[in-house]
Structure 1
């Protein structure tokens, strides 16, 4: 079956389910509305009026069913498209086999071999290679986990359908199973009844690790080993180069619900998941590895390891007696016993200081005997389950992911200020100039820590910050350094913000501290980043901290807030320049740098094709090390399907390897730099003029988007704003982007680019930059998908909701004019005849989806109108309307394949 046949099959099954469970006439009504939407797309103005009339006369019940039907349809279409992409990938792989597919790890090494890169240079690259995916709890996954599990089941049935195509009976059974799951999907509430808690988010994170990453990441290890063996056989593969981290349960920034006991419980769950998974897999491996000592003589090191473990637990002694010639099974049985004992550990109590002792089981306790066994096995046995288990221990250790700790710099500063005031050291630390703060901190860091009580602060907030640093200290002391990732400092404005964290940690008794990663988010902070790092790298105490970490420094850059602050072009250019400069500063001080990219799913938040995004970074900024956030709906869309997960990860690995390979550095021509500077400055002025300087813009935004409804969604534990304020700089980037995406403006992902390009009258120069500079090409190419998903005619429906008609008309005319200018100039510079001309599959997918997305926008606008007309927006009358709103938000997000 081809893609259109599968879409038709699932659409037909959904129609039958709706007709059976709801009413046949509702399905007919849905088909009529979709038909009108298609005709409107083709330019039929009467169809547009009829569509609006049909939607405006819907009852609440019918509107709910129709919104749910379009949302469910997109869930099914997305699954078919993912299945189709996997089929295409397999076909392409079979066409080039035994050569490597494009943008694969094998192809990367083939290219480097052809370029003359030596084994010695590859060895250095492999020693530096470190790729880490960081899962975050950012609330952009609008679907419930229950819905995700059902769509996973449908995806597996679609794969079965492809395999059973020539077997009618099996095919019919699969179709029956599909209808049953679609029925269950239809009858399941798509909208959460209650707001997510942090504990819910942590469990969802564990679900992602267990379902998406546990079996996928080891495959990439095997890919890299195979590629090295083929192209650079003398180079040993790195043992731990692809890793997983998480913010879920450790991200306190703006989330008052993440407390120390939550973080401690998260660490327990991380350890518990991996300990249990490894126990189960080693138990099964023990049954499979029934290798007799008479066939393969055990290495002396393994026999010595066994003797050191005596006396054995009773059940292990039984295994030794029953399988006396199977020492490999015996060793695995001992490891299974160790993991079973580790699972009994009262970890949360230890971390919270109620009862502490050193952890008895370390990663090396598992790896040492497993590697000895592997060294004795023939290659045919090594490449199967045994090697996969070893890779899992190398990737995960004894925890599901490194847990990052994130907090806003102002919170750390407030806590220390209160402590210093209580100790009569400084009465107003928070408000001192940055240089004076840094001087005071340096002096205090070099002095002995004062004798402080368990909770030295006056307020509960300060006590909680203090408890956090005590937890960090205990975690490192009891369980080692692998459980925690860096301490990420949001809104880092000065070197003193980093030194504050060092002092709090020292005074709280944390003898070992994880890396500290300043996060630079605003345009100004990105410009100040090099100066701040220079100050840190010349601070004696901070250099001692870096030396304890092998002279490594992680720096995080934020794509979301920089966009919200300066607009699309200025944000991207500021991020590029910051990376160039901090790379130079790190090299000057002989610091091994890792740049941590805080990207989201949409173009406005750093999303887009991963391979080009990595290769477009400044020369030398990656150098084998790449860390990136994976947020919300992106986690499921990229990793739920094993085939697509593997493809995305191999593209990341390929791009990092190629970007890090030694090559002659070609400086960016000065005239290109001057040109992009002009473009970004013009774009910055246009963006700030609209968003920050236009009177009434906030009122326009609030009225012409479903912002309030997005804030009410039960999709995250964190509040939508950093503070109670109506300013753009106080709203978080996710609802900012989410609201514009829902109303089809998609403004943050393109606005200001047109004005910027128009400031350059030499089109030939822009075309030269597009052809020769991957950064500039990626900047324009990414805007194309944003422009294609935007729809000013649909946005006009939302503008009709703005009470001040004159204000609405003026602002919308400015936005539409900029949209048209941006679209026209992007096409002119790229020499494309239509948006996404070179990405025909994506272009067609967007165009095919629009007749299904548009009715959801019409329903959403009608529902917003009814909600805002109610005397009490929180009364009983509002509840069914809010359910419809949630369904439309859910469906539009699925249809556009983007939220925030």
Structure 2
């Protein structure tokens, strides 16, 4: 029986033992004293005992202020490692609870599972014809990104994974005493190794390091998890709709890592080529090992299971056999299945030796050494020939892995800023002496100029070197690489090309023109990304303009008349605040879907969600079910960013659970059934949201954009500068160098810095003012009705509850003391604190709760239990920031050690709050 408290106690005891052994008993005693005081401080807060709380806070501040750098580093490391261990224990407990629930409900399905969704559709009397249509349209894809929010090194991830495996073994069965001791010793050894390993990177990672980190999860989690999800859907259909076949190719994985150029000059064509090599290398090696293993398993005698004639012909066509395969044929006579699989494994072994990067960057015309059809065709012969019990076991999984991952592992998306693409095209046009002016301010003039160029049947003769600037040459090199990789290795290597900050139809046409000149336009999905509030508002008009152009409709024909549109949750929040951004996103989705429907274009919405609620995070199942009606239709694509990847996918069982919740929600949201669908927003609800959005926007703008001293305050009262120096991502923290402005800073460090300092401002600011205004107008009953019956508004308030509960104005006030101008800091902090109090009170009033997250007691308890351990890390961070900023020389040895401790606290706070940016 799994006991979470006992697990945390065991891991905490082992950590204490490691501290004593590897550091000193005195350090362990110091850490325990800080922990006890922090816990007593929180207990006093819960009781409302302000004198005791102030006393404990003062004593903690005195201890932390007296720490030397070595002690500060060790204490920060101890609390950080403690959170890593607690997270593992909580994950193991969740797995145990899921398994217990499945056993209890069997044979009924678990809620929010794929089986439960299909069963619910059958119960609603959804016809087999409707299900077949849904399966035909089903396309679900997760996209891994390298936004710098995952603060753990790959080395640390591997060690934590080993501890998690030991924990699972420990509680999977009732161990014998000697087994218990062996497990305990294994945990002790792994925690010791973790303690003695540097947590922070010594240098900023290269893009290829980030690629390898993403592939770590592909290799260790997704490779088995995605086929398992595909099998779940096939099984659910077989039970409820046996006449409907499970679709193929509906569940895939993509990545931005190595293809996302937006603001990252480190992503070049050469880096993207190397990324494709790493992707293919993983796929080839995983399939090679799987086929080698299958060859050993399928030692079927040709006499007992005669191979079909087509297989014999296939074998004969491949003679003379490779040396190793010929040896196997001589040794294992008349074992045609082993022989066939060995040949396939040998093909992949040969393919693993090709230098894909060099081939992509040269003018070589030699294609790939092996293609996916060469593997699938003989495997299908085997599936048809062998007994069903053999085909449905490992063989079927291997076939699914080939179908899902191909020889590319994940599809690589490409992304670039619209201004960079437009500048590059304009320079190329000038270099070619084409009289096309893309500079007019009028969007329609630019669009028509591009239409005229696209209408030309004869593309210009474009050399590899165009005689343009290095920046434009690099942009052109990307399109050349895209063309070569598609020609040599297949279109499946790539996802769409995404245009950041899309402002008009001309931005999309610019990409179409460059792709056409490079010879890679056919079938290329060109995706506008709408990020700011203004762009989200303009999105339906821009798409309507595009769809009205014959030249673009002709391109859509090559894309099966499908259009993907990406909406950004991060910049819209930074632009207008939490409530205004969410309402703008909701409206944009509904209107984009309407425009696509009017033009008979098949839409896929691509959700650029982050980890925190400020960046679109939150429970995925609920978020999908809260989408506007008729915007899903079986198609769903979303980013998995930064810390959400390790939080959701570090554990195979939890990864499966998260994935099945996504697919389940997509299935349910896609079937039109007014009686079963959640309530659609009525006029009164929409009017209320419009009013609140405007008021929340005004409140947010008044603080963030219209308060000049806010920038100075933010810079001093958060670890912004230190986050910019943190070696967790290859991308710069700001889009532009020079003077710091909110409009220039990236959304991730914006959210990260406010989260670290416990303001968590982007996740709630402005909400209280908006709700209070409607309550003052006598519309509390309307708001409560919206909360109870409208999934969108319910999710909006519940996600804000999470942000408010993780915020802490007491801790935030400590960061406020870092500002040199305390009079200024007092004014800004008072405004933030007042809105925090107002938001907390209003959310509780509308929800009817007496405590935040009262409707999620497990999450609420977890946050309450974590807070006493996060607080010391915040206090140490404040003290280290104070010392660092007081130094005359910010580059000396002491400064480097201070930064090292700050990085440790950043990691620890992120682990404790289970949020970064």
Q: What range describes the TM-score normalised by the shorter chain of this pair?
A: over 0.9
Correspondent of 1:568 among 556, 562, 578? 578
Moved more, 33-42 or 336-345: 336-345
Taking the TM superposition and a 5 Å limit, the aligned residue runs for 1:475-554 are: 475-510=485-520, 512=522, 514-554=524-564
SS at the partner of 2:499? strand
**Cα deviation code 1:150-199 (max 9, x no counterpart):** 10010001011113533110110110111111111011111111111112
Aligned pairs (5 A) from 1:270-309: 270-309=279-318
Deviation of residue 873 (structure 1)?
1.5
Query: Match for 1:382 among 391, 396, 415?
Result: 391
Q: For residue 190 of structure 2, what is the aligned residue in structure 1? A: 181
CA contact (8 A) 1:353 1:474 kept: no
Structure 1 counterpart of 2:49:
none
| TM-superposition CA deviations, 1:388-440 (whole Å, max 9, x none) | 10010010010110000100001101101111222333475245421111111
**Contact 2:144 2:639 (8 Å CA) reproduced:** yes
Residue of structure 2 equivalent to 1:198 = 207
Q: Which residue of 1 aligns with 2:347?
A: 338
Whole-Å separation in 2 of the counterparts to 1:404 and 1:833? 45
Q: Distance in 2 between matches of 1:300 and 1:658?
A: 45
**Given the alignment, which residue of 455, 469, 472 partners 2:482?**
472
Partner of 1:656: 666
Are the equivalent residues in 1 in contact too, given 2:816–2:825 (CA < 8 A)? yes
Per-residue Cα deviation, 1:710-752 (whole angstroms, up to 9, x for no partner): 0010000110000013110100011000000000000001111
Q: What pairs with 1:460-859 in structure 2 (closer than 5 Å)?
A: 460-510=470-520, 512=522, 514-664=524-674, 667-724=680-737, 725-761=739-775, 762-859=779-876
Secondary structure, counterpart of 1:729 in structure 2:
coil
Shift of 1:513: 5.2
1:339 is displaced (CA, Å) by 1.2
Deviates more, 1:523-532 or 1:866-875: 866-875
The question of whether the paired residues in 2 share the 8 Å contact of 1:476 and 1:513 is answered with no
1: CA distance between counterparts of 2:851 and 2:521?
59
Post-superposition CA distance 1:803-846 (Å, at most 9, x none): 11121111111111111111111111111121111111110110
Q: CA deviation at 1:364?
A: 1.8
Distance 1:532 1:57 in 2: 60
In 1, are the aligned partners of 2:501 and 2:531 still within 8 Å (CA)?
A: yes
Q: Is the 8 A contact 2:298 2:337 kept in 1?
A: yes
Tell me the CA shift for residue 353 of structure 1.
Answer: 2.6
Greater CA drift, 223-232 or 163-172: 163-172
Q: Given that residues 131 and 243 in structure 1 are in contact (C-alpha distance below 8 angstroms), is that contact kept between their aligned partners in structure 2?
A: yes
**Aligned residues of 1:413 and 1:430 also touching (Cα < 8 A):** no
- TM-score for both structures, normalised by structure 1: 0.98
- Shift of the alpha carbon at 1:500? 0.4
Deviation at 1:372, TM superposition (A): 2.2
Q: Deviations over 1:679-707 (max 9, x none)?
A: 11100110011100012010011011000
| Equivalences for residues 419-434 of structure 1 within 5 A | 419-426=428-435, 429-434=438-443
- Aligned partners of 1:121, 1:306: CA distance in 2, in Å? 43
* In structure 1, distance between residues paired with 2:371 and 2:789: 50
What is the rounded CA distance, in whole Å, between the counterparts of 2:426 and 2:866 in structure 1? 54
Paired residue secondary structure (2:820) = coil
Query: CA separation in 1, counterparts of 2:189 and 2:323?
Result: 48
Does the residue aligned with 1:593 lie in a helix, a strand or coil? strand
Instruction: Name the CA distance, whole Å, in 2 between partners of 1:392 and 1:473.
Output: 26
Is 2:867 the counterpart of 1:867?
Answer: no
1:12 correspondence with 2:13: yes
CA distance in 2, matches of 1:309, 1:528: 58
- Kept in 2, the 8 Å contact 1:520–1:557? The answer is yes
Deviation per CA, 1:760-811, whole angstroms, max 9, x where unpaired? 1310000111111100000001111111000000000011111111211111
Q: Aligned-pair distance for 1:316? A: 2.7
Indicate which of 115, 124, 142 corresponds to 2:124: 115
Cα distance per residue 1:216-266 (max 9 Å; x no partner): 111111111111111111110011111110111111000001110110111
| 1:378 positional shift | 2.6
Which secondary structure state, in structure 2, belongs to the residue aligned with residue 827 of structure 1? helix
Superposition RMSD in Å: 1.4
Native 8 Å contact 2:522 2:555 kept in 1: no
* Alpha-carbon distance in structure 1 between the residues aligned to 2:644 and 2:427: 40
Between the aligned partners of 2:150 and 2:214, the Cα distance in structure 1 is: 12
SS in 2 for 1:492: coil
Task: Compute the displacement of 1:361 (Å).
Answer: 2.2
SS at structure 2 position matched to 1:626: strand
Q: Is the 8 A contact 1:473 1:512 kept in 2?
A: no
Which range is displaced more, 358-367 or 726-735? Answer: 358-367
Q: Contact 2:76/2:901 (CA < 8 Å) preserved in 1?
A: yes
Secondary structure of the structure 1 residue equivalent to 2:233: helix
Aligned residues of 2:437 and 2:446 also touching (Cα < 8 A): no
After superposition, the C-alpha distances for 1:137-162 in whole angstroms (9 at most, x for unaligned) are 11101111111111001000101111
The CA distance in 2 between the partners of 1:70 and 1:782, in whole Å, is 27
Quick check: 1:893–1:899 contact (8 Å CA) kept in 2?
Answer: yes
Query: Which residue of the partner structure matches residue 250 of structure 1?
Result: 259
Output one character per residue of 1:462-494: Cα deviation in whole Å (capped at 9) or x when no partner: 000011111111111111110001001000000
What is the CA-CA distance between 1:377 and the residue it aligns to? 2.8
Report the Cα offset of residue 334 of structure 1.
1.7
Contact 1:704–1:798 (CA<8 Å) still a contact in 2?
A: yes
Rounded to whole Å, the distance in 2 between the matches of 1:507 and 1:226 is: 46
> How do 1:393-408 and structure 2 match up within 5 A?
393-408=402-417
CA distance in 2, matches of 1:51, 1:898: 25
Q: Distance in 2 between matches of 1:561 and 1:772?
A: 29
Distance (whole Å) between structure 2 residues aligned to residue 549 and residue 780 of structure 1: 39
The runs of 5 or more residues in structure 1 that have no matched partner are none
Counterparts of residues 96-135 of structure 1 (less than 5 Å): 96-135=105-144
Report if aligned partners of 1:523, 1:574 keep a CA contact under 8 Å in 2.
yes
Would you say 1:373 and 2:382 are equivalent positions? yes
- Alignment check: 8 A CA contact 1:117 1:662 kept: no
Aligned mates of 1:165, 1:848 — CA distance in 2: 28
SS in 2 for 1:216: helix
Q: For 2:615 and 2:85, how far apart are their aligned partners in 1?
A: 26
Once the two structures are overlaid, the 10-residue window that deviates more, 120-129 or 296-305, is 296-305
Structure-1 separation of matches of 2:688 and 2:341: 63
Query: SS in structure 2 opposite 1:215?
Result: helix
Partner Cα separation in structure 1 for residue 879 and residue 329 of structure 2:
73
Shift of 1:454: 1.7
Q: For the residues of structure 1 that align with 2:387 and 2:661, how far apart are their CA atoms?
A: 31
SS of corresponding position for 1:728: coil
SS across alignment from 1:582:
helix
Distance in 2 between residues matched to 1:541 and 1:878, nearest whole Å: 58
Secondary structure of the equivalent of 1:877?
helix
